[in-house]
A and B are shown apart, each in its own frame.
Chain A
Amino acid sequence: MKHLIAVLLMGVPLALTAQNPVIRNQFTADPTARVFNNKVYLYPSHDIKPPVGQRQDWFCMEDYHVFSSENLTDWTDHGMIVTQNKVPWVRPNSYSMWAPDCVYRNGKYYFYFPSSPNAGGGFAVGVAIADRPEGPFIPEPEPIKGINGIDPCVLLASDGNAYIFWGNGRCAKLKDNMKELADDNPKSTVKFGNREMEMVGVNCLEGLPNRQAEGPFAFEYNGNYYLTYPYVRQNTEVLGYAMSKNPMGPYEYKGLIMAEHANGCWTNHHSIINYKGQWYLFYHHNDFSPSDDKRRSVCIDKLTFNADGTIQEVKPTMRGVGINKATEKIEIDRYSEASSDVKTELIDTINTFRSYQAALPKKGSWLRYNDIDFNCINNDAYMIISVKAAGNTSFAIREKSATGKVLAKITLDNIVPPETPNAPAGGMGGGMMGRFRRDMRGQWLTQTAALDYVPKGVTDLVITNEGDAEIAVDYVLFKNRPKYFSPSTAAPIAPDAEGFIHRWLLLEPINKPNSGNTVFTDSYLREHFNREYFKGQQTILPKDGQKVQAVFKQEQAPAGFGRGMGAQQAPAQPEVKTVKQTLTWHALDSENMNVKLFRFAEKWGEQVYGVLFWAVTIIDCPEEIKDVRLAVGSNSASMWWLNGEETLLLSGDRRMVKDDAMSSRITLKKGRNVLRGAIINGPGMSDFCVRFLDEKGNPVTNYSIINNK
Chain B
Amino acid sequence: MKILRNIFAASALLVAATASAQSGQPFIHDPSTLAECDGKWYTFGTGGGGIITDDGWNWHSGAERPGGGAAPDMIKIGDRYLCIYGATGGGLGGGHAGRILTMWNKTLDPKSPDFKWSEGVEVCYSDGMEDQDAIDPGALLDPTTGRLWVSYGTYFGTIRLIELDPATGFRKSGNKEKDIAIDCEASDLIYRDGWYYLLGTHGTCCDGVNSTYNIVVGRSKSPEGPYIDNVGRDMYHGGGKMVIAAGDRKTGAGHFGRTIIDEGVEVMSFHWEADFDMGGRSTLAVRPLLWKNGWPVGGDQLKEGTYEIESERRGYALELAVDFVRMNVARAGGFGGFGGGQQANAAPPQPVAEQKLEDVISTWPSGNIPARIGDYMFRPHQKWTITAVPEAGGYLSNPYFKITIAGTDRALAATEDVEVTTVPSYTGAPEQLWRIEQLTDGTFRIMPKQIPGKEGINTKYVLYSAGDSTPTLAEYDFNSDNSKWNFRQH
Contact = CB atoms under 8 A, between A and B. Distances in A.
Interface in B45-91: 68, 70, 88, 91
Contacts of A563: 204-207
B183 A436 contact: no
Interface stretch (A334-342, A531-539, A652-660): A652-660
Interface stretch (A105-113, A145-153, A426-434): A426-434
Contacts of B128: 446, 448
Interface string B258-299: 000000000000000000000000000000000000000000
B238 interface: yes
Contacts of A25: 173
Contacts of A518: 204, 207, 210, 212
A350 interface: yes
Interface string B105-129: 0000000000000010100010111
B477 interface: no
A351 interface: yes
Contacts of B92: 432-433, 436
Contact of B155 (A15, A450, A685): A685
A476 to B, nearest CB: 12
Contacts of B182: 594, 656
Contacts, number: 102
A13 B173 CA distance: 9
Interface in A562-590: 562-565
A479 B129 CA distance: 10
A482 B131 CA distance: 9
B228 to A, nearest CB: 12
Where chain B touches its partner, the secondary structure class is loop
A475 to B, nearest CB: 11
A518 B203 CA distance: 10
B488 interface: no
Contact of B173 (A14, A414, A516): A14
B123 to A, nearest CB: 13
Interface in A201-216: none
Contacts of A655: 155, 183-184, 202-203, 238
A447 interface: yes
Interface in A378-411: 382, 384
B127 A653 contact: no
B72 to A, nearest CB: 14
Contacts of A428: 91
A168 interface: no
Interface in A624-664: 633, 635, 653, 655-660
A633 B236 CA distance: 13
Where chain A touches its partner, the secondary structure class is loop
Contacts of A438: 68, 93
Contacts of B130: 479, 482
B98 to A, nearest CB: 8
Given A14-B174, A565-B206, A660 B238 contact: yes
A655 B155 CA distance: 9
Interface residues of B, number: 39
A658 B233 CA distance: 8
Contacts of B70: 436
A623 interface: no
A685 B157 contact: yes
Contact of B94 (A14, A348, A384, A414): A414
A532 B206 CA distance: 34
B156 interface: yes
A446 to B, nearest CB: 5
B211 to A, nearest CB: 9
Nearest to B134: A446
Given A13-B174, A446-B99, A633 B238 contact: yes
Given A429-B206, A481-B129, A658-B239, A684 B174 contact: no
Given A432-B92, A433-B92, A593 B238 contact: no
A447 B212 contact: no
Contacts of A450: 129
Given A432-B92, A653-B212, A446 B174 contact: no
A437 interface: yes
B182 to A, nearest CB: 7
Given A482-B131, A684-B155, A685-B155, A562 B207 contact: yes
Q: Taking each of B70, B125, B238, B240, which has the highest tally of chain A beta carbons within 10 Å of its own beta carbon?
A: B238
B184 to A, nearest CB: 8
B237 interface: yes
A689 B206 CA distance: 27
A157 interface: no
B174 A12 contact: yes
B412 interface: no
A517 interface: yes
Nearest to B173: A14
B204 A653 contact: yes
B174 A15 contact: yes
Contacts of A562: 207
Contact of B97 (A348, A448, A635, A685): A448
Contacts of A351: 119, 121
Interface in B176-217: 182-184, 202-207, 210, 212
Nearest to A658: B237
B239 A657 contact: yes
Nearest to B204: A653
A660 B94 CA distance: 31
Contacts of B68: 438
A13 B174 CA distance: 8
A25 B233 CA distance: 41
Nearest to A437: B93
B97 to A, nearest CB: 5
A518 B204 CA distance: 9
Interface in A405-427: 414, 427
A436 B93 contact: yes
A351 B99 CA distance: 18
B237 A382 contact: no
Contacts of A565: 206
Interface in B129-156: 129-131, 155-156
B238 A448 contact: no
Interface string B229-272: 00001100111100000000000000000000000000000000
B119 A433 contact: no
B206 A657 contact: no
A684 B239 CA distance: 18
Given A438-B68, A635-B183, A658-B237, A350 B202 contact: no
A446 B125 contact: yes
Given A351-B119, A658-B239, A384 B127 contact: yes
A349 to B, nearest CB: 11
29 contacts: A12-B174, A14-B173, A25-B173, A348-B119, A351-B121, A414-B93, A414-B94, A433-B92, A433-B94, A438-B93, A446-B97, A446-B127, A446-B128, A447-B97, A479-B127, A481-B129, A517-B204, A518-B212, A563-B205, A635-B155, A653-B212, A655-B184, A655-B203, A655-B238, A657-B237, A657-B239, A659-B233, A660-B238, A685-B131
Given A563-B206, A658-B234, A685-B157, 10 more contacts: A382-B127, A438-B93, A446-B128, A448-B97, A518-B212, A653-B203, A655-B155, A655-B184, A655-B238, A658-B238
Interface of B: 68, 70, 88, 91-94, 97, 99, 119, 121, 125, 127-131, 155-157, 173-174, 182-184, 202-207, 210, 212, 233-234, 237-240
Interface of A: 12-15, 25, 348, 350-351, 382, 384, 414, 427-429, 432-433, 436-438, 445-448, 450, 479, 481-482, 516-518, 562-565, 593-594, 596, 633, 635, 653, 655-660, 684-685, 689
